[in-house]
Structure 1
Amino acid sequence: MVEASKLRTETLALHAGQTRDPRNGAQAVPIYQTNAYVYEDTEQAASLNNLEIGGHLYSRISNPTVAAAEERIAALEGGVGALGLSSGHAAVFLTIATLLSAGDHIVATKALYGGSINLMKLTLPRFGITTTFVDGSDIDAIRAAIQPNTRMIFGEVVGNPGLDVLDVAAVAGVAQEAGLPLVVDSTFTPPPLYRPFEDGANIVIHSATKWIGGHGIAMGGFIVDAGNFDWASSDKFPTLTEPYPGYPGMTYAEHFGPSAFIARARTEGLRDFGTVLSAQSAFYLIQGMETLSLRMERHIANARAVLDFLANHDAVAWVRHPDMPDHRDHEVAKRQLPEGATSMIVFGVKGGFEAGKALINSARLASHVSNVGDAKTLLVHPASTTHMQLGPEQRKLAGVPDDMIRLSVGIEHVDDIIDDLRASLRTSQRAVASDAKG
């Protein structure tokens, strides 16, 4: 294969991480459905288990199919290595667990997926790790939130569900000043749209369940390491700079150099926490990556057409998307995400709670699903589903007003998507009018 650094994204998505099958010449990446691997001899077994040589010894730690997926996403992002995991949320947790210990602190932006907020706000404090949440657009607030025990700055490139855009270069500057790694979740902006390492991020996380997989058939997550953080020169990360008793005498920063973080995440994290990406799921994610560039072109083109339709529809109260000139982060999105900010759109339907329910129930093409990033168009009314346990005022404070519809634009013919939305919006207004009369 041609050297990866000389290939473009579309080509890497098809070829990176794959070598010719020496036994059978398989064109596709084979699925290695095995738990363990036969050692050549006792010397090789000892070397593998002592991390003296590379190779596979048990599929909880590594697997050839998973390795191909890892190498492919690392090439797409421009990283030195990647780790495949059972879900995107596992990737978030394992990143934190690899670098932080009890008594440590995280600075995180407020515009995060609810599961990440719950992890940092409710779960991690039980283990002695605390988090300060700040407005990601306020660089001074991020800087002010850093404490002596802060060990990470965390944010989402495009926040879920509000679609806030993080100025990665600006936040990376703050992180570098403080000697901290910047970890970004780039799920909404996979590599055809954006490569955070080019703006100074150190670690990238993906929920590959979404756009990377793209077909709603496999759960998975990735951690990608840029290899651009000097762990060896910092005294803030003893997990990487002090000898590790699990491998007596070994210091990760010395042994693995720029890949120290991803190496520890694999050899300790997968071994001890078991958040394993299966070979079958890795195979599905590889298939998704092979069409990722083409799908993202269609996702973005469709989203822009749908955005224009919604912005000019009488039944729509408001529309939120970084491409909209009135979006708070529009200028950041234009500079940072010229290929397209995301294929997610959030909008409000006139008539509030009941109109939102009526729109969802009348959709015929779009699926009512609490997921995003599928090839198919997906809709959800958060107030009557994911946030229904909260009252109206609580939902409003959470940034989920009763009229909000979250739309994940798929790759169907855009006219069919718009026709379905048009009919659903019409039905939503009839329902409101009927309630008013009744």
Structure 2
Amino acid sequence: MSDWSFETKLVHSGHQQDPDTGASELPVYQSVSFQHDSAQKISNVFHGKEFGYIYSRIGNPTVAAFEQRITAAESGLGTVAVSSGMAALSIIIEALTQVGDEIISSKSLFGGTYYLLQELVQTGRIKVRWVDTTDIASYKAAITSQTKGIFCESIGNPKLDVPNLTALSELAKKAGVPLVVDGTCSTPVLLNAKEAEIDIMWHSATKWIGGHGAAVGGLIVDTGRFQWSGFDNPMIQDLKGMGQLAFLARCRKLRSNRGCCLGPQDAFLLNLGIETMSLRVKQQCQNALALAKALQAHPAVASVSYPGLSDHPDHQVASQLFSDQFGAVLCVRLHDKAASFQFLDQLQLIKQLANLGDTCTLAVHPESTIYRNLSVDEQIQAGVYPDQVRLSVGIESIEDLIKDCQQSLDQLKQSS
């Protein structure tokens, strides 16, 4: 399996064939608990002396197969699948920090991430030192003896800025803390976490990994680079007998204790989606670049932000990091908020909804929805503006997508 190419791992890793029935597709083990042959056997499983499943909040065979497929795709040490992307982030923070500890985070974040970090700060759980995503010097200046991790997004959502992950990895290594990256918008197709020297990668599997808007899930991937034996956290050090698996063991314990397990039906759907992820994401990246160029040329458009455009400030970094593929999200500004609402309402093919990574193209007005509770300054730092529309580009015909956007923009021009 280690010699398989990336695309082959997406299709064949994790589950081969059901030994009892010969079923080639991953079975859905829709069972709360699992029977054992003897009292001694179930006792051994509880004590970790024998492998086995006990209770689906703790572990489930369908979920485990999905985790194995993700681990293979990321060339990682292991994966913990949870109920959502936000659950993944919550568990990572709780696993790495104690009350009073600090993390460093970029300001360019998904709204849900921002709200979670704000709440943790307001309740005194942790301290967050905010930095500009692409300013490596600001990360370095923010490091203290209480720092327990450096957090950023591989592609900022919706600012679409791209950090220099190589420089951040070197900085994190010198500081003795893990580099934690939200890879949702890049996916394993564009960015191999281990090759990029990321220590912990997390995803909202709901988005491009599932790809069909049918299931919610989150993923925590330990790439195996970070040496947990020297990490200053008593809860992880209590698991030092697990060696390099200590962080994953802590995350699994938190998943069980917090009850944020991934259900087997959702795991099945997400596992099914990942088989076509490479094909979908490559088409979406191609469509996004073509659509960005078409929108940029329209007179009703004030500006277009997309890392694949040569005038994007992080174009060179993104080109090197993602091998000339730039993701499937772009943002367009239309002079004022009224124009952005009108543009959205006049779309005929593209759907208005708050999600990313679907096979169909999606559009939303971030300022009045996802980022509605942030101050104006916080919105600007996150790359959010009143006249902005975010587009998550799907796999439809690019001619149809351009035509739909152009007919809406043409109406804007006529009414102006």
State if a TM-score over 0.5 links the two structures.
yes
Q: 1:425: which partner in 2?
A: 409
Aligned-residue RMSD, C-alpha:
1.6
How far did residue 44 of structure 1 move? 2.1
The amino acid across from 1:269 in the alignment is L
Q: State yes or no: 1:208 paired with 2:205.
A: yes
Q: State yes or no: 1:73 paired with 2:70.
A: yes
How far did residue 307 of structure 1 move? 1.4
Counterpart of 1:381 (choices 339, 353, 365) is 365
Distance, in Å, in 2 between the alignment partners of 1:300 and 1:231 is: 36
The amino acid across from 2:293 in the alignment is D
Moved more, 45-54 or 162-171: 45-54
How far did residue 397 of structure 1 move? 6.0
The equivalences for 1:188-203 within 5 A come to 188-203=185-200
The amino acid across from 1:275 in the alignment is C
Distance, in Å, in 2 between the alignment partners of 1:392 and 1:116 is: 17
Q: State yes or no: 1:237 paired with 2:211.
A: no
Distance, in Å, in 1 between the alignment partners of 2:158 and 2:84 is: 19
The equivalences for 1:31-430 within 5 A come to 31-234=28-231, 236-242=232-238, 252-254=239-241, 256-266=242-252, 268-350=253-335, 352-388=336-372, 395-396=379-380, 399-430=383-414
Deviations for 1:84-136, whole angstroms, at most 9, x for unmatched residues?
11100000000111121112110111111121112112235425211111012
Distance, in Å, in 2 between the alignment partners of 1:208 and 1:395 is: 25
Distance, in Å, in 2 between the alignment partners of 1:199 and 1:297 is: 19
Whether the 8 Å contact between 1:347 and 1:405 is mirrored in structure 2 is yes
Whether the 8 Å contact between 1:152 and 1:183 is mirrored in structure 2 is yes
Whether the 8 Å contact between 1:344 and 1:409 is mirrored in structure 2 is yes
Distance, in Å, in 2 between the alignment partners of 1:390 and 1:129 is: 20
The amino acid across from 2:302 in the alignment is A
Deviations for 1:126-173, whole angstroms, at most 9, x for unmatched residues?
252111110121111101101111111111100111011121111010
Distance, in Å, in 2 between the alignment partners of 1:385 and 1:105 is: 29
Q: Are the structure 2 counterparts of residues 387 and 121 from structure 1 closer, same or farther at C-alpha, using a change threshold of 3 Å?
A: closer
Distance, in Å, in 2 between the alignment partners of 1:391 and 1:314 is: 30
- If the length of structure 1 is used for normalisation, what is the TM-score? 0.91
Task: Report % sequence identity.
Answer: 39
Distance, in Å, in 1 between the alignment partners of 2:130 and 2:33 is: 43
Whether the 8 Å contact between 2:289 and 2:309 is mirrored in structure 1 is no
Which consecutive residues of structure 2, in runs of 5 or more, have no partner in the other structure?
A: none
Which consecutive residues of structure 1, in runs of 5 or more, have no partner in the other structure?
A: 243-251, 434-438
Number of aligned pairs?
Answer: 416
Deviations for 1:5-34, whole angstroms, at most 9, x for unmatched residues?
100111111111113211000010000000
The amino acid across from 1:196 in the alignment is A
- If the length of structure 2 is used for normalisation, what is the TM-score? 0.96
Whether the 8 Å contact between 1:89 and 1:207 is mirrored in structure 2 is yes
Q: Are the structure 2 counterparts of residues 125 and 229 from structure 1 closer, same or farther at C-alpha, using a change threshold of 3 Å?
A: farther
Q: Are the structure 2 counterparts of residues 114 and 240 from structure 1 closer, same or farther at C-alpha, using a change threshold of 3 Å?
A: same
Partner-residue secondary structure (3-state), 2:188: coil
The amino acid across from 2:26 in the alignment is V
The amino acid across from 2:262 in the alignment is L
Q: 1:248: which partner in 2?
A: none
How far did residue 394 of structure 1 move? 7.2
Whether the 8 Å contact between 2:307 and 2:314 is mirrored in structure 1 is yes
Partner-residue secondary structure (3-state), 2:203: strand
Whether the 8 Å contact between 1:228 and 1:258 is mirrored in structure 2 is no
How far did residue 52 of structure 1 move? 3.0
Whether the 8 Å contact between 2:183 and 2:201 is mirrored in structure 1 is yes
Partner-residue secondary structure (3-state), 2:268: helix
Distance, in Å, in 2 between the alignment partners of 1:112 and 1:340 is: 21
Moved more, 197-206 or 41-50: 41-50
Q: State yes or no: 1:5 paired with 2:24.
A: no
The amino acid across from 2:291 in the alignment is V
How far did residue 62 of structure 1 move? 0.8
